[in-house]
Chain A
Amino acid sequence: MSTQIAAITNVKTGAISEAVYEHPFIVRLCHWVNALALLVLVFSGLQIFRAFPSFGAKIPQKDLLHWPKAYALGGWLGGGLQWHLTFMWIYIGTGLLYLTYEIFSRNYKQVLFMPRDIRGVWPMVHHYFFFGPKPYVREAYNPLQKLAYTSAIVLGALSVLTGLAIWKPVQFSWLAWLMGGFHWARLWHFAVMWAILAFLFGHLVMVVLHGWNNFVSMLTGWKKDPEYL
């Protein structure tokens, strides 16, 4: 799949600018549906967590943290589970559709972190966090972005696998076993959620820093005046 590039003549000034079609429709659709599903899963998941906010024994019970009811979805445990067990299918569905599309369209090359990208990670970290010079960019995603997005996809897969191990610890006993049993799978599922939230925080900071054209590209697919052309 070759990237579509547009040359745009401004009707008033006659100036020519460029735009790149960065995000195909399926990717954008999956992105937004998955983002909403993720939010529902986080807040309904915290509702479920509230029923037993611990990873230790039931007797005696030592709570890990008190999550306020106002920041949890579903009203009670049963409601939280209904949201969770409904939106997990939407989350899994968009995840699978996205992965299938990426593989068959070969669009994954845009985002998949490969060994050759390792070299470029540090210069980007140096630039973002230590005010180093901006490395030369030739692609839609720089090596650090590829690392972040590839990690996010791995975390998404882990959230599903740890979730399956909690939901079906007998039928997917091998999954639960891989995670150290039902008890630990529950802790992993919780930890993966926080890892995803950490990614989300960084993602949102970067969205703000990269400005409007970049944000719009996830809505329309087209990114105006990309820096790498």
Chain B
Amino acid sequence: MNLRTDSRQFKRINRRELLKLSPVLALGAFAVPRLQKPLLKTGLAFSDWASARLFRSGHLARTFDDSELTPFARFPINGYDVDDPGVDFDNWTLTVSGAVQKPGDYTLAQIQTLPKFRQNTRHVCIEGWDVIGRFGGARLADFLQMIGADPAARFITVQCADDYYESLDTATARHPQSLLCYEMYDQPLTREHGAPLRLNIPTKIGYKQAKYLTDLKVSHVLEKAGYWEDQGYSEFYGL
């Protein structure tokens, strides 16, 4: 026995110990409607901060053998409103703006003068499904050099023909597997998969793989994170 007490005193001890647990009630803040949204936003922002810290620019996403590819017909087509926004291929250009030395309109032929890379990588959808696809295109890093992007810029934002919009941090954009993709399964992109140009970023989640690109902007501050980000998805979502 190292504590001698009476029942009244013991009750007081118990009450004090119980009160010590009151910080647990702080979690009740999540049940308050007015506080819930900002709290969850903070939680998501913290996760994004951690995600950015975890990203390693030299670490490659796993690549797969041709035998492991999901058949092209089973590679899901995930448009946010239309499968085919009716891009006019003959007059298509990628309009570049922002913190770059050479803004302007770039044709597909100009982009295709850059070295072409092909990769079999995993496409992971935020819903939980995943497929392995074959992608071909120019490195985004090479294109950023072509347009003379400010090395100090922090974000790349893209606009799409179907009003979709997305963003990337420049560290991810300069990753060797980040492609301005114009081929899937060694064929020119089909309209449903984002012709003539889409993003293929194997270190990012599916909704970052924007299709039917029309505009690309290099910037120091993030003006628009992305369509789904504005609905409440993570801004960074690196894999």
Question: In B1-49, which residues have CB < 8 Å from any A CB?
Answer: 1-8, 10, 13-15, 17-18, 20-21, 23-24, 27, 30, 39-44, 46-47
Q: What is the CB-to-nearest-CB distance from A122 to chain B, in angstroms, rounded to a whole number? A: 34
Whole-angstrom CA separation of A174 from B20 in the bound complex: 41
- C-beta contact mask, A186-200 vs B, less than 8 Å → 1, else 0? 100000000000000
B239 touches A52 (CB 8 A): no
Whole-angstrom CA separation of A83 from B42 in the bound complex: 11
A19 touches B10 (CB 8 A): yes
A59 touches B76 (CB 8 A): yes
A86 touches B239 (CB 8 A): no
Question: In A6-44, which residues have CB < 8 Å from any B CB?
Answer: 6-12, 18-19, 25, 28-29, 32-33, 36, 40
A171-B239, A182-B122 are contacts. A29–B130 as well, Cβ < 8 Å?
Answer: no
Question: In A76-101, which residues have CB < 8 Å from any B CB?
Answer: 77-79, 81-83, 85-90
Q: What is the interface residue range for chain B against chain A?
A: 35 or more
A7-B4, A81-B234 are contacts. A169–B122 as well, Cβ < 8 Å?
Answer: yes
A86-B47, A171-B238 are contacts. A182–B130 as well, Cβ < 8 Å?
Answer: yes
Any chain B CB within 8 A of the CB of A118?
Answer: no
A contact face: mostly helix, strand, loop, or mixed = helix
Any chain A CB within 8 A of the CB of B80?
Answer: no
Name A89's contact: one of B41, B47, B56, B126 (CB within 8 Å): B47
Any chain A CB within 8 A of the CB of B203?
Answer: yes
Any chain B CB within 8 A of the CB of A222?
Answer: yes
A4-B3, A48-B128, A169-B124 are contacts. A89–B238 as well, Cβ < 8 Å?
Answer: no
A222 touches B233 (CB 8 A): no
A32 touches B238 (CB 8 A): no
* Chain B neighbourhood of A85, CB < 8 A: 43-44, 47, 234
Any chain B CB within 8 A of the CB of A5?
Answer: yes
Q: What is the CB-to-nearest-CB distance from B71 to chain A, in angstroms, rounded to a whole number? A: 9
B contact face: mostly helix, strand, loop, or mixed = mixed
B24 touches A170 (CB 8 A): no
B24 touches A33 (CB 8 A): yes
* Chain A neighbourhood of B23, CB < 8 A: 29
Q: What is the CB-to-nearest-CB distance from B7 to chain A, in angstroms, rounded to a whole number? A: 5
- C-beta contact mask, A46-85 vs B, less than 8 Å → 1, else 0? 0011011010011101000000000000000111011101
> Looking across the interface, which residue of chain B has its beta carbon closest to that of A172?
B54
Q: What is the interface residue range for chain A against chain B?
A: 35 or more
> Looking across the interface, which residue of chain A has its beta carbon closest to that of B46?
A89
B6 touches A9 (CB 8 A): yes
* Chain B neighbourhood of A12, CB < 8 A: 7
* Chain A neighbourhood of B39, CB < 8 A: 86
A11 touches B6 (CB 8 A): yes
Q: What is the CB-to-nearest-CB distance from A165 to chain B, in angstroms, rounded to a whole number? A: 11
Whole-angstrom CA separation of A216 from B7 in the bound complex: 16
B40 touches A82 (CB 8 A): yes
B127 touches A171 (CB 8 A): no
A58-B131, A222-B14 are contacts. A82–B44 as well, Cβ < 8 Å?
Answer: yes
Q: What is the CB-to-nearest-CB distance from A83 to chain B, in angstroms, rounded to a whole number? A: 6
A residues apposed to B, CB below 8 Å: 2, 4-12, 18-19, 25, 28-29, 32-33, 36, 40, 48-49, 51-52, 54, 57-59, 61, 77-79, 81-83, 85-90, 168-171, 173, 182-183, 186, 216, 219-222
Further pairs besides A10-B6, A81-B44, A168-B51: 14, Cβ < 8 Å: A4-B2, A5-B1, A8-B10, A9-B6, A28-B21, A32-B21, A52-B128, A61-B129, A82-B40, A85-B43, A85-B47, A86-B42, A88-B47, A169-B122
Q: Could you name 15 residue pairs across A and B whose Cβ atoms are closer than 8 Å?
A: A6-B2, A8-B5, A11-B6, A25-B21, A29-B21, A32-B21, A58-B74, A59-B74, A81-B234, A89-B47, A170-B59, A170-B62, A219-B17, A222-B13, A222-B14
